[in-house]
């Protein structure tokens, strides 16, 4: 969800040609598969296109290849080797609840996906603003 929303937000801000977004899980459970149907429906209901997204697994080389690696929770943070100048938590940029985990709605109901979408949308706007400042 975060990938789709952040990419859409960057495109709307005219930054799609200057900022690349990739996403991956730290485990390979769903590699090659589309996102959870509930996540896709939540995104589609909000006007986003979830159909192009396919799961991939995080590669340790990304930490040196990308300017910034954002993780969703403390478990992911540990999986990628902890905080560094290139690794942070997604919600470190959230204007509400800064530094908290993005909850995994997978085992809950549809309302969890809506909550995550709201969280991701507001955080993505902050990330886009940060990108604008850095790229000036």
pLDDT the model gives residue 28: 75
pLDDT, tens digit, 9 for 90 and up, residues 31-44: 988 999 999 999 99
Q: Residue 28, Cβ neighbours under 10 Å: how many?
A: 12
pLDDT-above-90 percentage for the chain: 79
Residue-level pLDDT at 3: 96
Reply yes or no on whether the pLDDT at 97 is more than 90. Answer: no
**What is the predicted pLDDT for the residue at 32?**
85
Residue whose entry in the numeric block shows the structure tokens 């589609």: 44
Q: Residue 88 is inside which H or E element, if any?
A: strand 87-89
With bands split at pLDDT 50, 70 and 90, how would you rate the model's confidence at 29? confident
Instruction: Decide if 104 is catalytic.
Output: yes
CATH of 2-130 among 3.30.2310.20, 3.40.50.2300, 3.50.50.60, 3.40.920.10: 3.40.50.2300
* From 45, 74, 104, 110, the catalytic residue: 104
Radius of gyration, CA atoms only, the chain: 14
What mean pLDDT comes out for the span 88-112?
93
Q: What is the pTM of this model?
A: 0.92
Looking only at the bridges linking them, the beta strands covering 69-71 and 87-89 are parallel
Average pLDDT, the chain: 94
Q: Is it the case that residue 7 has pLDDT exceeding 90? A: yes
Domain residue ranges in the chain: 2-130
């Amino acid at each position: 969800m975060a990938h789709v929303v952040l990419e859409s937000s960057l495109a709307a801000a005219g930054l799609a040609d200057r900022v690349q977004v990739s996403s991956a899980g730290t485990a390979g459970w769903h590699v090659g598969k589309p996102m959870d149907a509930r996540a896709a429906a939540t995104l589609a209901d909000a006007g986003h296109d979830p159909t192009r997204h396919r799961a991939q697994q995080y590669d340790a080389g990304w930490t040196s290849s990308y300017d910034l690696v954002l993780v969703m929770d403390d478990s992911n943070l540990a999986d990628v080797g902890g905080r560094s100048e290139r690794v942070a938590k997604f919600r470190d940029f959230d204007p509400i609840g800064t530094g908290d985990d993005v909850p995994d709605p997978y085992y809950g109901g549809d309302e969890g996906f809506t909550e995550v979408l709201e969280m991701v949308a507001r955080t993505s706007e902050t990330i886009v603003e940060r990108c604008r400042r850095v790229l000036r």
